[in-house]
């Protein structure tokens, strides 16, 4: 069965939201790391940059599928 562009767009939209949620989690944990010993030793800045990179690489595909889904 052939999948529609709108279905693929929904999947990429959810993936994009997951990446953004992860980025925000790393950001908040990074701000708490200096006052919570359980968070010492994690590279939250690096994890946040990695999520930003993932989002940047995904975005052209997401936008392309959004255009295709809206075109019908």
* pLDDT tens by residue, the chain, 72 residues: 567 888 999 999 999 999 999 999 999 999 999 999 999 999 999 999 999 999 999 999 999 999 998 886
pLDDT at 1: 55
Would you put residue 3 in left (φ > 0), alpha (ψ -120 to 50) or beta? beta
Tokens 């990695």, residue located: 50
What's the longest Cα–Cα distance across the chain?
53
- Measured CA to CA, the distance from residue 11 to residue 66 in angstroms comes to 11
């Amino acid at each position: 069965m052939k999948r529609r562009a709108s279905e693929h767009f929904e999947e990429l939209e959810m993936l994009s939201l997951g990446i953004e949620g992860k980025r925000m989690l790393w950001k908040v944990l990074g701000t708490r790391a200096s006052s919570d010993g359980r968070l010492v030793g994690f590279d939250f800045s690096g994890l946040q940059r990695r999520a930003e990179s993932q989002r940047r690489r995904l975005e052209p595909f997401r936008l392309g599928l959004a255009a295709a889904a809206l075109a019908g």
